[in-house]
Structure 1
């Protein structure tokens, strides 16, 4: 989560309270994301439409990142120190999915741009085959980033360490061993988000220019423009989750550590956990094709959860009675 000791100076009651405050919304968002992922695989229209395939890829990456981030949080809250190899695997998985999200947003923005500006060619350009190829490129680019990070990590002289046991909590920042790894992380992060911002803003400008054409469907343009703005908000939230650790380091020079820990946990929920569920909310509520099916599946799963909970209580009561 970060290089600060998240349990430093906190009592058991306060630690449990803050852990619950982060774990509970995480479980709720995982439930919502899981329902949306199931919805996107339940109908052929979703599996055969490019923007829904891209949405599935985005949600999958966000869900994996949410699970991985919460796992590291729980490990740190339990004061468990991992070894460098185990922490390296977890953080490299985080690096992989962190890059996939903004790149997928770029592809989704370009798809909306083509749909509005080139409506007659949209069906020939944005095909399932081309969409699958774009997803492969996104994963390949993300994997290349992970490979470079691993090579930089292997350059660190681990043989000089007395033990592979970490002295800090496992986090991406604590795995940036050496100045080269740190510099590469900063340069790549800046490059990634500048590239994504330029692509999304350019798509938005193209849609706005297309709106002036008399032959363009105004309702379609307005919807695409709003979608691109939401993509820009999603990208901004992803950027804020990438820079909030350095921000906390700056704040730590002013605030007391206990106050910093409390602020850090609140920021973690708002900036890291919440954005990972934003895509499900945006498309689950705004998209008229997904909304009725998503709500139906969500309600059905809630009913099944309630029935299962009642069944567990009934079994416990019978066990006590016997």
Structure 2
């Protein structure tokens, strides 16, 4: 029977304390930043439901859908990040549910950007038919199609997981942190994910780019409202940037796995935090900030809720 000496006990306690302190110092600032971003997104979502003009305008309905998907994605990503930082290993079923929900919302965002780009294209290139094409009913149907298409992809991924021999595992407890890549338990899942991701972003990229080109061509026409076309062109450029940021999030997990092979744990944790903030958190909050600042109708109402003012400047009544 062996006994630990007091010095060995002190060393063990010191190492454990150092790990806990390191975990807190690295994750606390990011968690605070995420909470701030979630608060801003939540206020923006509430703002888009505070007045009938937002609830009855197609582009604001699409913006609400984009922000909702980004907010859910941000919350799930932060949960997975904290689980990873705390070195908590989940079971495969629990990780699968979280990963599939994150994957679902991650696909809704680029598809919603496609719908928003098409809406701006119709508004500039077919202004007389915009009211008949972009209706509330058509917008709701398009959003349902986006969620159904994304859900179908998740269903296919779940079916591919059924081929994995889970019964051969000693237990369903994972031996690594939960992530989207951790649920690629077979070569078919990995191949399907790569093919679908390429298809999704090529489709979105081509659609947004073609919409931008169409708006630029229409802006040169004498019959087109120059101010409206210029604003739509800038909006489509913003959609392209957002699409690029969404695409960058797909390299998050592969990049971390590659770095873990040649970096020590402390350096890997620090780089993990930087990459996580830059390509996961910030893109999910940019939509709320950019649209909230750019839109002349949203801005005063958003500032009202953010600053807790008693009355709105230059508005006849308080938001309801």
Fold shared, TM-score > 0.5 on shorter chain? yes
| SS at 1:11 equivalent | helix
Quick check: 1:69 aligned with 2:102?
Answer: no
Quick check: 1:166 aligned with 2:174?
Answer: yes
| Count, aligned residues | 294
Alignment correspondent of 2:39: 31
Q: Which has the larger radius of gyration?
A: 2
Q: What is the TM-score normalised by the length of structure 2?
A: 0.89
Per-residue CA deviation, residues 47-77 of structure 1 (Å, 9 max, x unaligned), is 0000000000000000101111111111222
- The partner residue of 2:222 within 210, 214, 228 is 214
Quick check: 1:277 aligned with 2:249?
Answer: no
Quick check: 1:249 aligned with 2:257?
Answer: yes
Quick one: distance in 2 between partners of 1:124 and 1:268?
43
Alignment correspondent of 1:145: 153
Deviation for aligned residue 1:257 = 4.1
Deviation for aligned residue 1:254 = 4.8
Quick check: 1:82 aligned with 2:90?
Answer: yes
Alignment correspondent of 1:107: 115
- The partner residue of 1:266 within 266, 274, 283 is 274
Quick check: 1:11 aligned with 2:19?
Answer: yes
Deviation for aligned residue 1:227 = 0.5
Per-residue CA deviation, residues 100-135 of structure 1 (Å, 9 max, x unaligned), is 000000000000000000000000000000000100
| SS at 2:308 equivalent | helix
Deviation for aligned residue 1:252 = 4.2
Deviation for aligned residue 1:253 = 4.7
Alignment correspondent of 2:195: 187
Quick one: distance in 2 between partners of 1:204 and 1:27?
34
Alignment correspondent of 2:30: 22
Deviation for aligned residue 1:266 = 0.7
Alignment correspondent of 1:93: 101
Deviation for aligned residue 1:247 = 2.8
Quick one: distance in 2 between partners of 1:229 and 1:256?
40
Q: What is the RMSD computed on CA atoms of the aligned residues?
A: 1.6
Quick one: distance in 2 between partners of 1:137 and 1:301?
39
Alignment correspondent of 2:141: 133
Quick one: distance in 2 between partners of 1:280 and 1:56?
10
Quick one: distance in 2 between partners of 1:65 and 1:25?
15
Alignment correspondent of 2:129: 121
Alignment correspondent of 2:315: none
Per-residue CA deviation, residues 187-245 of structure 1 (Å, 9 max, x unaligned), is 11111111110010000000000011011111101110100011111111111111132
Quick one: distance in 2 between partners of 1:69 and 1:301?
32
